Every structure is written in C-alpha cells, then in structure tokens.
Amino acid sequence: MELGLKGKNALVCASSKGIGKGCARALASEGANVWLNGRDPNTLEATQREIEAIAKGDVASICCDITTESGRDKALSETPDLDILVNNAGGPPVGDFREWTLDDWRSALNNNMLTPIDLFQRVVDGMIERRFGRVINVTSSSVKAPIQHLDLSNGARSGLTGFFAGASRQVAPFNVTVNAILPGRFDTDRLRTSMTRAATEANESIEDLLEKGKQHIPARRFGSPDEFGALCAFLCSTHAGYITGQNILIDGGLVALSP
C-alpha cells in the first residue's frame, strides 16, 4: 500500500533507539524526510547511518534534549514546514507514590505532558495552513488502565490525553489529525534494562524473567519496535485522515478493558 508520505517532513522525538527509532525507520522507508532526535551523539549518528541505508527520503539528526525549551528551539529551527510530529520521551521512574516530591511531579509533567503540548502548539498552525498534518503522541497503556507504581506516568500522560481530546477535534477540519499510540511491553533496551535489574533483585536469570513476562501477554511475546513503527506510519498516511482523537493500544492483548 502506498502511504502517501513521500516528501513529507517528519520530526521524530527520542528516536535514536527503541520504539522512537522504529517510527523513524518506518517513515523513512515510506519516503518521508525524517529528522532524528536524541541526546547521545554517538547513538544518534549510528542510528542515522542505519536508517539512511533503507530510507527513500532524506535523513538528518538533531542532537538535543527535546524536554528543554532550548532543545525544542533547536529542533524546530532545523525542521522546515513539518508535516508530521511524533512526540516521544522516556517515561518517568517507578516507585511508591509516597516517595514523589513536587520536583518529581514537575519533571514528569514537563517531559510527558508539557513538552508535547508545546511542540504541537508551535507547529500546528503551519500544518493547518498547508492542510495536512499528522501528530502522533507515544504514551502508554497506562492511559487506559493505570499501572500501580507508575503514578508519575499515569498522571502526566492522562493529562496529555485530556488536552488532546479537545485539541484534536479543533484542528480536524483542516486535515490535521492527532492520535496517541499506547504501547504495552516492547523488546527495547529500556525493557531489558529494567528486567535485568529485576532479575538481579530476584536472583533469577534474565532469560527466565523475560519468559515469565511473555506468559502474561496473550500474544505470548513482546512487541517489536518495527511493528510499532508500522502503526505509526499508517496513522501518518493519507489513508488515515478520518482517524483522529484516538488512543490506540498496541500491547498483544495485555490490557483487558471492560465492555
């Protein structure tokens, strides 16, 4: 299927690895001009080389912390006439709600709510003028089913979801869509790092703990960044213009919602 993304300009935040990288790969393979973003220049450079090998458009990198105002200024100054914005950032830490300070909450809200809103506000009018825009917010399955000990993520990402429930409908008449993708467990460095820590604490092998984790998922496996990216690319395509304001779970059936 031709997705109609050739020549479209896309900024994919936090895309040097993980599911952000999966989104960048998918968009680049469909002919979009993709700007990668990350904080580590070496990882970013390696990812750019990898994606250039399969890209059908231009690929560039912006090394900055997108969660800072100066980082956002830099990113947007280097990305002309954005057609596609993929908002993505690492999730806040886990822990007991009694532990969180106001600074912890401010950080979570800045990274996972205010940063995506600021980027959206700064690019959406250009999308409206050009009568094409696709905004993807990478959030979490916790938006649909809050997860214990992920209080910072539950709160910040639910706030983001509430904001875009209204904003997505305001921009819909101009062929600008806004959707969120809610990942469950994906086979990324982040997952393996957290599972390695848990395995050490439980005195288990990482292989055993990973296998146990898969057994809790109806699909009996973790998701891959590439299949996450494929969904992202479709939602950015010309075929998805009638899909907006949605929060789409991609979790192998892990979250069971009441009918």
The C-alpha atoms of residue 42 and residue 46 are separated, in whole angstroms, by: 6
Task: Please provide the average confidence, as pLDDT, over all residues in the chain.
Answer: 94
Angstrom distances, CA of residue 136 to CA of 7, 122, 126, 161, 179:
18, 15, 16, 12, 5
The C-alpha atoms of residue 182 and residue 179 are separated, in whole angstroms, by: 10
Polymer length of the chain? 259
The C-alpha atoms of residue 160 and residue 198 are separated, in whole angstroms, by: 29
At 181-190, the pLDDT tens digits run 999 999 888 7
Whether the per-residue pLDDT at 257 is higher than 70: the answer is: no
Angstrom distances, CA of residue 14 to CA of 6, 72, 98, 155, 174:
22, 12, 29, 21, 27
Q: Which fold has domain 9-186+223-250?
A: Rossmann fold (3.40.50)
Tell me which residue of 219, 247, 218, 216 sits closest to 231, measured CA to CA. Answer: 247
The C-alpha atoms of residue 168 and residue 146 are separated, in whole angstroms, by: 23
Domain limits of the chain? 9-186+223-250, 187-222
> Which residue, chain included where needed, has tokens 């057609």?
83
At 9-23, the pLDDT tens digits run 999 999 999 999 999
Whether the per-residue pLDDT at 259 is higher than 70: the answer is: no
pLDDT cut 70: percent of the chain above it: 99
At 61-113, the pLDDT tens digits run 999 999 999 999 999 999 999 999 999 998 887 888 898 899 999 999 999 99
Q: Is the pTM of this model over 0.85?
A: yes
Whether the per-residue pLDDT at 243 is higher than 50: the answer is: yes
